[in-house]
Structure 1
Amino acid sequence: MARGGTGVSGRMKPVEKVRKSPRQSRSRDSVACILEAAARILEAKGEAGFTTNAVAQRAGVSIGTLYRYYPDKQAILLALAERETEAHRQAVIAVTAGEPSVARDRALIRAFVQAFARRDQARRIAMKAMLAEADHAELAARFSAAENGLKDAAGRPLSRVQAFVLARAVHGALRAAVLEGVDFLQSREFEDELVRLGRAYLGYRPVVVA
């Protein structure tokens, strides 16, 4: 049984994310095995089969070794989500390097949606756990790469306040869509509305987004 918390899907008390940072190669290998085992269990059995004992057994480590790095299964979920958000951050940086256009803005919104909406079960469960538990400011900071270099319709860089408001508006809509389990998260209409929201805030004239 996992220690601490009330379960994966229920609202939990604040959790300790990582007890010990892996510095040696052997420690990093153990952490990688634990996270990979967790992902495989979530993919095969979902939340019902996800326990720290099951993860330790699948990873080939003792339960004591697992608890050395992760105090409970929620911490493992958050670590999985953090691994995914870093990959997403790199994708966002690549998108924002392009010239401002409707196509670029759509690609940026699509990258944000895909960060939370990919269909593989393990990733979806981990990201939902992060959205439910993470401090909103901390979560938004992980995606702040998208804010750097943004300009309004006149070509002026956004101020910190403007970038904050725009980013939180998009993050808030995505967070609500994921946590409420809406059926239009990956729809073209939802994507269109987020593109319109962003471009309207930046001062572009309303157009039919393509």
Structure 2
Amino acid sequence: MTVEVILGAALQLLEAEGVERLTTNHIAARAGVSIGTVYQYFRDKDDILAALAQQRAGAVRDDIAQLVISPPGANAVRAIVQALTRSFDDAPRARAALLDAMYRGRDDGGLQQHHQAFLAAIDGKVQLHAELTPERAFVLTHAPVSLLRAAAAEPGLGLDPQALEDELVRLLEAYLAALPAAR
């Protein structure tokens, strides 16, 4: 419970003030715990950011695995892209910092850990029209996340969220359509 309170406080501060102003002292004060309590669970601010990123990514990963496993619908790719793009609707200012923290990772390999967990979650539960080689799985899982990270890091571009979603769907559908059929 204490960890959740600390993470919740960190997310609130990150969203309200940005990553530059986020400190463990501010987090402890917002969470209503001592700084020693924060350090009991986390080494530093980066450790807290990594935990927040892992928490968010794990929830999205599980949602997407369920979408992939369930019977495919006409808009399956769009549903997956929407799960990714809307995963930060409640914390748009925190998006870039948390995506960066996920890429940096800490002790668990960051994005690689989620990539492997996703593949394990769908293993043997879904039939694809093409063989899912490690390279294809990498492209399918990393391309949209990498593009969303870039979009979050470059807010000055003024990208329209709906248009970006449409382009990500187009990209993934074209890639999937170009894959040779499984034999």
Question: Do the structures match in fold with TM over 0.5?
Answer: yes
Q: Count the aligned residue pairs.
A: 171
Letter in 2 for 1:197: L
| CA-based RMSD | 3.0
Deviation at 1:45, TM superposition (A): 3.6
Deviations 1:56-75 (A, max 9, x none): 12223221221122222222
Deviation at 1:88, TM superposition (A): 0.9
- Aligned residue runs from structure 1 range 6-17, under 5 A: none
Deviations 1:142-195 (A, max 9, x none): 1452794362xxx234222222233233233222222223422622x2222222
Partner of 1:7 in structure 2?
A: none
Letter in 2 for 1:59: A
Deviation at 1:119, TM superposition (A): 4.7
Letter in 1 for 2:32: G
The alignment's TM-score, normalised by the length of structure 1, stands at 0.67
Deviation at 1:104, TM superposition (A): 0.7
Q: Is the 8 A contact 2:81 2:169 kept in 1?
A: yes
Letter in 1 for 2:161: Q
Partner of 1:93 in structure 2?
A: 65
Q: Which has the higher helix share?
A: 2
- 2:139 aligned with 1:168: no
Deviation at 1:130, TM superposition (A): 1.6
Deviation at 1:49, TM superposition (A): 4.6
Deviation at 1:102, TM superposition (A): 4.2
Q: Structure 1's 173 and 142: CA in aligned 2 closer, same or farther, altered over 3 A?
A: same
Partner of 2:10 in structure 1?
A: 38
Q: Which of 182, 192, 196 is matched with 2:166 structurally? A: 192
2: CA distance, partners of 1:79 / 1:97 = 27
Letter in 2 for 1:169: A
Letter in 1 for 2:4: A
Letter in 2 for 1:203: A
Q: Which has the larger radius of gyration?
A: 1
Deviation at 1:131, TM superposition (A): 4.8
Partner of 2:181 in structure 1?
A: none
Deviations 1:10-33 (A, max 9, x none): xxxxxxxxxxxxxxxxxxx22222
- Give the match's secondary structure for 2:27: helix
Q: Is the 8 A contact 1:81 1:123 kept in 2?
A: no
